[in-house]
Amino acid sequence: MIQRTVLVVLFDGVQSLDATGPMEVFAGASRAPGVSYTLRTASLDGGPVRATSGLRLMPDSSLAEAPVPHTLLVPGGHGTRGSHPELTAWLRVHAPEAERLVSVCTGALLLAEAGLLDGHRVTTHWNYCAQLAHDFPAVEVDPDPIFVRDGRLATSAGVTAGIDLALALVEEDHGRDLALTVARHLVVFLRRPGNQAQFSAQLSAQTAQREPLREVQHWITQHPDADLAVDALAARARLSPRHFARAFRAETGTTPGRYVDRVRLEHARRLLEDTCDPVGRIARASGYRTPEAMRRAFVKALATAPAEYRRRFRTPASVGPAAD
């Protein structure tokens, strides 16, 4: 049996779910025969810490007394804001000793402050990606995925994305079946792929201020299989194509074409997850002219083909024969 120690760093202002979510995943995996994750928590001085919710957490030890872990996990929370010389000094010295270095949410800010993210592709909570990129220009920040793997380094977006990342690590260590078992036990029916966007299409774009543009946004999400070319959308908004495209981007933060692409991809993903419809039918219902066009969109955005996406992420209720 391979023994893997997971050490979770605690500090005042930690987001409790960033720490406890992944810990529950590893603890759940350890219930399987032949699987062992030893979970440890530590704070700088070994004393209790107060989470952002007010929850009081008692670590197992101080960081100085903690064993060298297989996986070192640094959660996020309001406590990551500002400077943390003692904690980052400890991370700078001891984090390289771990075989796997993981951050959840704004824990990436602490790793960046310690100089551990320089030259790496990472992510963090969407609200702090710009800050991370600005304050640490040597770090390649990708604001879209829910988690990113770069060698021994793994970083995730906010809160529940840490659970997705932990499930991916369990799959890496012990296989897909165990990761699915743990996900179902935690009632996390879909183990989201790391390159899934942090936001849905509707949330990733701002809501337009003007009523005609808001109506167009709603129309797009309700009719992904319609003619959604700029000329058609502009006519619906009663604007010239040029004025519409400029106004849409100014008010939503994205172009009409990119918004349409996200809506169609999201619609296709939901149908793959929740139905047994054939891929060709899903492609047409989602506005793709051919199944091949949908396959190219999936490979570009999610690095996987529709059939493989369905195999990995179909909800239990939709399991059944699906002709592709």
- 3-state SS string for the chain: CCEEEEEEECCCCCCHHHHHHHHHHHHHHCCCCCCEEEEEEEECCCCCEECCCCCEECCCEEHHHCCCCCEEEECCCHHHCCCCHHHHHHHHHHHHHCCEEEEECCHHHHHHHCCCCCCCEECCCHHHHHHHHHHCCCCEECCCECEEEECCEEEECCCCHHHHHHHHHHHHHHCHHHHHHHHHHCCCCCCCCCCCECCCHHHHCCCCCCHHHHHHHHHHHHCCCCCCCHHHHHHHHCCCHHHHHHHHHHHHCCCHHHHHHHHHHHHHHHHHHHCCCCHHHHHHHCCCCCHHHHHHHHHHHHCCCHHHHHHHHCCHHHCCCCCC
Q: Are 14 and 77 in contact (CB under 8 A)?
A: yes
The amino acid present at 90, given as its one-letter code, is: W
**320 Cβ neighbours under 8 A, 6+ residues apart:** 276
Q: Give catalytic residue positions.
A: 105
